[in-house]
Amino acid sequence: MTQKEEGLYIVLLSIHGLIRWNNLELGRDADTGGQTLYVVEFAQALAKQPGIRKVDLITQCVVDKNVSPDYAQPIEKYANNLRIVRIDAGPEEYLAKEELWDHLDSFSDNLDAFFHANNSFPDIIHSHYADAGYVGSHLASRLGIPLVHTGHSLGRVKRSRLLASGLKAKEIETRFKMSRRIEAEELTLATAERVITSTLQEISEQYELYDHYQPDQMRVVPPGTNLNQFTPASGDEVKSSLFKELTRHLKSPEKPIILALSRPDPRKNISALIEAFGQSTKLQELANLIIIAGNRDDIDDLEDGAQEVFHELLVTIDRYDLYGKVTMPKHHRRDQVPEIYRITAATGGVFVNPALTEPFGLTLIEAAASGLPIVATEDGGPQDIINNCKNGFLIDPLEPETITDALLKLFGDKDLWLKYATQGLIGVKAHYSWEAHAKRYFTIIKPIADRSEQLQRKPTKPRKGLYRDRAIVSDLDHNLIGDDESLGKLMTLLRQHRTSSRFIIATGRRLDSALKLMKKHKIPVPDVLITSSGTEIYHAPKLTTDTAWTNHIDYQWSRRRVKGLLTDFPGLKNQPNVEQSRFKLSYYIDPEKADIEEVKQLLHREEQAVFVQAAFEQFLDILPLRASKGMALRYVVEQFSIPLEAVFVAGGSGADEDMMRGNTLAAVVANRYHDELSQLDDIERIYLSNPPYAAGILEALEFYDFFDTCKDPRESEENNNGE
């Protein structure tokens, strides 16, 4: 019998959660979600592949009256060559993944015994998530079986997200056992022959943060999609009751639909789509715009971030008088989403995803499978999708006119629309179906199982001491930007030290304005982006809003009252709307007519809890009392347990003053020093770089020996003189 006839025996290891073949309890708890669905559908697709002899999906055995007895079955067959195998993992009751760590060695021993008892050993062990990676690493080393791994999510990234939600580092460690998880992830990377990711962006923004990361280890295999749910339109969808419900507020419901479907999240950038639609009378003549942004009964009952999104959407609709041309249905069911796509396709419409950041883009695959051309952000996953499917246009999410241009091309050329709709259907099946996923996966693991291909590991140097125990902080304008050659050198240096140092940008600009400038100068998204003069904090890689900071600075803040008090103040002029935000009022100030101290006195007399900040004697920001760049910076580094003595700050105006006070390692580049800093009592301890812009930052980093001793050499001299 040939090797091909014999085929491979694959073990998929997914330990936590509740796994069975039918009636998955998705959403029951944090452990029974996307990964559960993925491994079940992946196993089913893999077992159908030629060259695969047997697939075992191995998980924990749960004997617990609080869950179904299904999870106590040692073996659950799905097909002759496919089964779930449940292995004891310490206590019988159902344990959350954070509680499983102490029992993983026992699980490993029991699984080893299972293989020996059956005298059957897999050709490949494929671990899913860190806990399975830990077990898989031990078994791979013990039994000499190649390990393949999929992380699903990574501890270093999850930790940043949890910090952004307001949890303290100690609480995160206690509740989520994050140190053990990250240690297991490092062990897995040190062991695995291949690591499977969904996108290239996942590699560069997540896996590269690990000491044992190996570029040659990584392979991108987009996850499969159940295409049975998403099918092309028949044309009859425009006669349905759902079509009538969706279009009941539109003046001309027969027009093609521009569809956006996402959560009401600022990162989804829906307002840019309305902006593009509102600025183009031609687009308004050709199509209607339907925005599906979650479900709501009353906007005022939504959480603050969603309220702000809807406020911006409604203001933009009103600004361009788009009533009867744009609609935002209040409710929809999840099971109606496939029909919404088909309705849009039946009208000759287009699906648009204008997100600021989009790691994968599942909605784009769903839309393509429904026969819809797509227009999508050029960030992240959509690049791969459109490159594979050739079914639409990439746009700059910060430039609404690029959205307009793409839509006009599609609506102005029916042959192009049909070509992209057809190519999307073909491309999705070829690249994003479960069959395509399993086929691509098999080509990766076959030479690994045959031992004809082996990872040639490059030497790694695990860091001594704490991971990322220091931070570099800089403003954008006139600091990072001004000398692109030096900026490129600085970015290269920061990338080389990603595992030792966090990179933080603190700017007075709004998020969209900052991202536009960063994109122009090829500055990657930092670990933390502090915007709007310290009133907003975003965490990489998904620009997750730090909601805890938002709640903290909202203390006694009354934007409307402050704005009213300063409406007729002499010498103050409102900056454009693009510079205003929920927690920032920005003005141009004429120093000949306006006295900043008088502004402060007026606001304090009126009992307004505010922080007044001036920059370059021409800009004035009014912020909540608890907000500023310095306050935001201290909040962030405290989250990361980084001492201020290990924080380098490059600044230069009054807006940067409180970042440079205290114990930070501060520097001013040659072009930035301003008289506003002369009021700093300890100005002599700030390093003044000779070169301007990024070159000055590089010089200051060398002065402080930032990546090694991370000390101010002047302090050593003082200590020596004192002795």
Domains located in the chain, CATH noted: 3-220 (3.40.50.2000), 236-430 (3.40.50.2000), 470-555+626-722 (3.40.50.1000), 557-625 (3.90.1070.10)
By CB atoms closer than 10 A (0-12, 13-18, 19+), residue 389 is buried
Res 244: pLDDT: 96
Residue 130 CA: distances (Å) to CA of 62, 99, 153, 156, 400: 20, 13, 9, 12, 40
For residue 74, the number of C-alpha atoms closer than 13 Å in the C-beta half-sphere is 4
**Residue-wise pLDDT tens digits, 251-272:** 999 999 999 999 898 889 999 9
Please provide residue 127's backbone torsions phi and psi, each rounded to the nearest 5 degrees: -90, 145
Q: What DSSP string runs through 573-587?
A: EEPPGGG-BTTBEEE
Alpha helices in 450-510, H assignment, sequence order? 484-496
Question: What sign for the dihedral angle of Cα 652, 657, 658, 664?
Answer: positive
What token pair was written down for 6? 């014999």
Output 714 or 435, whichever has higher pLDDT: 435
Res 684: pLDDT: 67
Using the 8-state DSSP alphabet, how is residue 581 labeled? B
What token pair was written down for 147? 């390990």
Let me know: does 261 contact 272? Beta carbons within 8 Å. no
Distance in angstroms (rounded) separating the CA atoms of residues 123 and 445: 9
In this structure, of 5-19, 60-74, 161-175, 499-513, the range with the lowest mean pLDDT score is 161-175
Let me know: does 64 contact 19? Beta carbons within 8 Å. no
The mean pLDDT of 427-431, rounded to a whole number, is 94
Decide if pLDDT at 33 tops 60. yes
Res 27: pLDDT: 83
Residue 611, classed as helix, strand or coil, is strand
- CA nearest neighbour of 603 among 581, 616, 587: 587
Decide if pLDDT at 460 tops 90. no
Decide if pLDDT at 678 tops 90. no
What token pair was written down for 371? 């026969």
In this structure, of 115-129, 298-312, 457-471, 684-698, the range with the lowest mean pLDDT score is 457-471
Give the amino acid at 617: E
The mean pLDDT of 36-40, rounded to a whole number, is 94
Let me know: does 111 contact 15? Beta carbons within 8 Å. no
Res 3: pLDDT: 42
- CA nearest neighbour of 89 among 75, 108, 73: 108
Give the amino acid at 407: L
Using the 8-state DSSP alphabet, how is residue 677 labeled? G
* Percentage helix, strand, coil for the chain under 3-state DSSP, each rounded to 5: 45, 15, 35
Res 11: pLDDT: 98
Q: What DSSP string runs through 307-342?
A: HHHHHHHHHHHHHTT-BTTEE--S---GGGHHHHHH
Strand locations in 334-464 (E)? 350-353, 374-377, 392-395
Res 170: pLDDT: 86
The mean pLDDT of 388-414, rounded to a whole number, is 96
Distance in angstroms (rounded) separating the CA atoms of residues 251 and 288: 9
Q: How confident is the model at residue 446 (pLDDT cuts 50, 70, 90)?
A: very high
Residue whose pair of structure tokens reads 């990574």 in the numeric block: 154
Share of the chain above pLDDT 70, in %: 95
Residue 493 CA: distances (Å) to CA of 467, 475, 487, 685: 17, 17, 10, 25
Distance in angstroms (rounded) separating the CA atoms of residues 586 and 574: 6
Helical (H) or strand (E) element with 126: strand 124-128
Please provide the average confidence, as pLDDT, over all residues in the chain: 91
- What letters, b where the CB count within 10 A reaches 16 and e where it falls short, cover 438-463? bbbbbebbbebbeeeeeeeeeeeeee
Residue 618, classed as helix, strand or coil, is coil
Share of the chain above pLDDT 90, in %: 72
Let me know: does 351 contact 344? Beta carbons within 8 Å. yes
Output 201 or 515, whichever has higher pLDDT: 515
In this structure, of 27-31, 367-371, 400-404, the range with the lowest mean pLDDT score is 27-31
Angle at 86 between CA 84 and CA 87, to 5 degrees: 145
Distance in angstroms (rounded) separating the CA atoms of residues 64 and 556: 49
Q: Which residues 6+ apart lie within 8 Å of 307 measured at CB?
A: 299, 300
In this structure, of 32-41, 154-163, 340-349, the range with the lowest mean pLDDT score is 154-163
Let me know: does 460 contact 211? Beta carbons within 8 Å. yes
Q: Per the omega criterion (within 30 degrees of 0), is the bond before 526 cis?
A: no
Q: How confident is the model at residue 471 (pLDDT cuts 50, 70, 90)?
A: very high
Q: How confident is the model at residue 4 (pLDDT cuts 50, 70, 90)?
A: very low
Q: How confident is the model at residue 468 (pLDDT cuts 50, 70, 90)?
A: confident
What token pair was written down for 500? 């030792």
**Residue-wise pLDDT tens digits, 54-113:** 999 999 999 999 999 999 999 999 999 999 999 999 899 999 999 999 999 999 999 999
Distance between first and last Cα of the chain: 83
Distance in angstroms (rounded) separating the CA atoms of residues 142 and 122: 13
Decide if pLDDT at 289 tops 60. yes
Q: How confident is the model at residue 673 (pLDDT cuts 50, 70, 90)?
A: low
List the 528-531 sheet strands across, edge first.
544-545, 536-539, 528-531, 501-506, 470-474, 647-651, 665-668, 687-688
The mean pLDDT of 459-476, rounded to a whole number, is 79
The mean pLDDT of 628-643, rounded to a whole number, is 92
Distance in angstroms (rounded) separating the CA atoms of residues 74 and 271: 52
